Amino acid sequence: MRELKILGVVIFFTALVYIGVEPFAHSQMHPKVAPADFMFKDLKTNNKIGNAAKGAENFMNAGCIGCHGLKSQGMPNPMDDATASASFGVISPDLSSAGLIYESNFLMALIKDPTKALKVEHKFNESKFHPMTKFYGLGGDIDQEIADIVAYLKSIAPKSLTNSEVFEDACQRCHDMKYANQFSKSDFTLLTKYMGSTAPDLSMMIRSKGKGYLETFINDPQKQLEGTGMPRVGLTKDAQAQVIAFIETTGDRKKAERESLGPKVIGFMFIFTILAYLWKIKIWRELD
Amino acid sequence: MAEITKANGIGDWFDQRLATKKLAKVMMTEYWIPKNINFLWAMGVVLVVLFKILIVTGIFLLMYYKPDVNSAFDSVNYTIMQEVEYGWLWRHMHGVAASMVFLVIYIHMFAGIYYGSYKKGREMIWLTGMAIFGLFSAEAFSGYMLPWGQMSYWAAQVITNLFGGIPLIGDGLVIWIRGDYTVADATLTRFFMLHVFLLPLAIILLIAVHFYSLRVPHVNNQDGEDLDFDKESKKYLDGKKKESKVVPFWPIFLAKDFFVVGIAMIVFFYLTFYHFNFAMDPINFEPANAMKTPAHIYPEWYFLWSYEVLRGFFFDIAGISAMDIGLAAFGFANVAFMLIPFLDRDPSVKPAHKRPYFKIWFWILLIDMVVLTVYGKLPPLGINTYIGFVAALTFLVLFAALPFITKKDAGGAK
């Protein structure tokens, strides 16, 4: 039948253009990167079994509390936000939830060599120090001491957090989430100077970047955006999923409504089309 | 003055004052369309439906949109997309319909080229149609700016800058169009005015002229057959419906169109709900930032072919800069289709498959447009630049060759 042949031609050229400008062009512009690695295999593993009680002592003796707070243990950040911002460029993190949201091996590597774990060696060096100094040990087995500290952080961490809380602890020191009414407490100008560029508001990231990109990007920003000032934060798989879920509910709040309304509207058009077809058949019967 | 009598019903009351029965005949029941057509003849009605969707959804969006560089992005992405009941639906429908309008325009246009529906008295239909295409392009471009995202800003930057290439007045013209030295608040508010007022008004008027221009030469048919509409319509009215080669616009022609519109709407709503990124570019969900150029700047898919003609000439020739050659080619590309009725020197109206040389020309043109579109989006690196150049050159050569090709067809038909 001629009409079907014509339809075939129309569909063929439409599909050709679509494939060319969408999947094909995007694959050229954004080459595939390796999937997210939640084991952080590039970092050395520390197999020591930590002792939480010892870790609590180490935490005090190592001077962690000079910058970090543990609000859940009654220790607020030693500096107020303005002072921390002025000293470091960014407020220093409270570690109450660190044992839950950050991967243990990552935390251990971070304590030992922050810039390496964070993947910000391109920004910080001998002449420009990262605000967090390396932990040089308390005189004993350094790996054991670190394992103890991490065991301590895990022991005091909450069992679970809401998506918004994970975001607050993991991302909000730098990023705003305007549409969820959550804002960074760091001073914007100082933060921008510290980071080298503006940390963007993340309200619409789910639409501008999409889930797939965020999954590899948050896990290791350098993979998608080489040279970016954003550090690798070392979130566990679950914590990262919670962050992405939060980004999605903030930027695409009506997704569920959209996906449930779709079939109804399309179904309506289906019925319309069938009726229109029957009417057409009826009307054209006396002509052909 | 007509004699007004006591009306025997509401229809009669209106008929005595507005001649509604006569009007219905002229516009609907005795507006004759050839019977020998296929679904490509329904694209006009599909376009009308899509345009209506754009107007209705546009009115809803207009109630909450704020044309101001500081609030535009949030008014679209927060107020409309999240706060307003079904605001997201109106925006998605508006964005997807805008993209789909162009797909259907291209189908409509290439059907016109294929069946030779632009000549022998149908030149005005073609010219008004191409003018509508031009206005729709301006409408799409101005609308794309309104959410004030990264692509809005940078597309505005790049496109307004093109006018700078016009000799003598270029630099002044760019400032005049922008209303500022750079793309800024003044640019946004004036493109807002164009998008919601001046351009839609012009489009509506031009659509009316487009429809009117169909009335005298009549709609073409699948075989380009020259019909005697008076004779054929008389047959139809006399009851010889099977024998007659024409059908009335209502209800016969529209019955078929409604079915085609139904299919188009299924596709449209599928895209609206589940597959909208092609029409609403992700990069535009980042707020405009004059300090941060996106890694890849490209126009919406329907502008890619002419964009590639612009980009295709990437080297200087005989002392003329690549930019100027590209601009000249781009300028020509935008009027090339308007010239078709005058470049075609074969007087007979026939579908392309009955015109041996034109047939080849048609399919090469279509493939070249696809190549230009795809390479208009790919990053201009390595082999891509050469393919783009060849495709752009082919486009120009095709139009230059059209008079000779059609002349040859006309000669062979003797």
Contact B259 A280 (CB under 8 A): yes
Residue B413's nearest CA partner among B360, B340, B354 is: B354
Long-range own/partner contacts, residues A14-23 (CB < 8 A, 24 or more apart): A14/B103, A16/B370, A17/B301, A17/B370, A17/B373, A17/B374, A18/B278, A20/B370, A20/B373, A20/B374, A20/B377, A21/B278, A21/B301, A21/B304, A21/B373, A21/B374, A21/B376, A21/B377, A22/B277, A22/B278
Which among B82, B266, B285 has CB closest to A266?
B266
With respect to residue A267, please indicate whether it lies within any of the assigned structural domains. yes
Q: Which two tokens stand for residue B215?
A: 């009335």
Query: Which of A 64-123 lie inside 8 A of B, CB atoms?
Result: none
Q: What residues contact residue B412 under an 8 Å CB cut-off, 6+ apart?
A: B356, B357
Q: Are both A82 and A99 inside the same structural domain?
A: yes
Q: What residues contact residue B12 under an 8 Å CB cut-off, 6+ apart?
A: none
Residue B104's nearest CA partner among B332, B272, B267, B247 is: B267
Q: Are both A171 and A207 inside the same structural domain?
A: yes
Q: Are both A126 and A216 inside the same structural domain?
A: yes
With respect to residue A41, please indicate whether it lies within any of the assigned structural domains. no
Inter-CA distances, A95 with A39, A68, A169, Å: 21, 7, 8
Q: Does the CB of A24 have a partner CB in chain B at under 8 Å?
A: yes
With respect to residue A101, please indicate whether it lies within any of the assigned structural domains. yes
Return the SS3 of A231: coil
Q: Are both A147 and A112 inside the same structural domain?
A: yes
Instruction: Check residue B355 and report its DSSP letter.
Output: S
Contact B374 A17 (CB under 8 A): yes
Kindly list the residues from chain B whose CB atom is less than 8 angstroms away from the CB atom of residue A192: none
With respect to residue A140, please indicate whether it lies within any of the assigned structural domains. yes
Q: Are both A120 and A232 inside the same structural domain?
A: yes
Q: Are both A279 and A243 inside the same structural domain?
A: no
Q: Are both A176 and A241 inside the same structural domain?
A: yes
Residue B148's nearest CA partner among B187, B197, B119, B196 is: B187
Contact A29 B370 (CB under 8 A): no
Q: Are both A115 and A241 inside the same structural domain?
A: yes
With respect to residue A38, please indicate whether it lies within any of the assigned structural domains. no
Which among B74, B273, B370 has CB closest to A13?
B370
From first to last of the 414 residues of chain B, give the pLDDT tens digit.
Answer: 568 999 999 999 999 999 999 999 999 999 999 999 999 999 999 999 999 999 999 999 999 999 999 999 999 999 999 999 999 999 999 999 999 999 999 999 999 999 999 999 999 999 999 999 999 999 999 999 999 999 999 999 999 999 998 889 999 999 999 999 999 999 999 999 999 999 999 999 999 999 999 999 999 999 999 999 999 999 999 999 999 999 999 999 999 999 999 999 999 999 999 999 999 999 999 999 999 999 889 999 999 999 999 999 988 888 888 888 999 999 999 999 999 999 999 999 999 999 999 999 999 999 999 999 999 999 999 899 999 999 999 999 999 999 999 999 998 655
Q: In chain A, how many domains are there?
A: 3
Q: Are both A148 and A214 inside the same structural domain?
A: yes
Contact (CB, 8 A) for B285 and B95 = no
Neighbouring-strand partners of residue B33 = B247
Q: Are both A85 and A2 inside the same structural domain?
A: no
Q: Does the CB of A278 have a partner CB in chain B at under 8 Å?
A: no
With respect to residue A114, please indicate whether it lies within any of the assigned structural domains. yes
pLDDT at position B72, please? 98
Q: Does the CB of B250 have a partner CB in chain A at under 8 Å?
A: no
Q: Are both A191 and A273 inside the same structural domain?
A: no
Is pLDDT at A168 greater than 70 in this prediction? yes
Q: Are both A74 and A144 inside the same structural domain?
A: yes
Contact B259 A7 (CB under 8 A): no
Which among B81, B265, B278 has CB closest to A254?
B81
With respect to residue A264, please indicate whether it lies within any of the assigned structural domains. yes
With respect to residue A40, please indicate whether it lies within any of the assigned structural domains. no
* B185–chain A nearest CA distance, Å: 22
Task: Indicate the helix (H) or strand (E) that contains B33.
Answer: strand B32-34
Domain containing A266 equals 257-288
A17, A192, A270: which to substitute to probe chain B, counting the most B Cβ within 10 Å? A17
Q: Does the CB of A183 have a partner CB in chain B at under 8 Å?
A: no
Here the ipTM equals 0.96
What is the pTM for the complete model shown?
0.95
Q: Which two tokens stand for residue A241?
A: 């999923």
Q: A89-99, pLDDT tens digit by residue?
A: 999 999 999 99
Axis crossing angle, helix B383-412 with helix B322-336, rounded to the nearest 10: 40
Which domains, and CATH codes, for chain B?
37-297 (1.20.810.10), 299-414 (no CATH)
Name the closest residue on chain A to residue B297, using Cα atoms.
A29
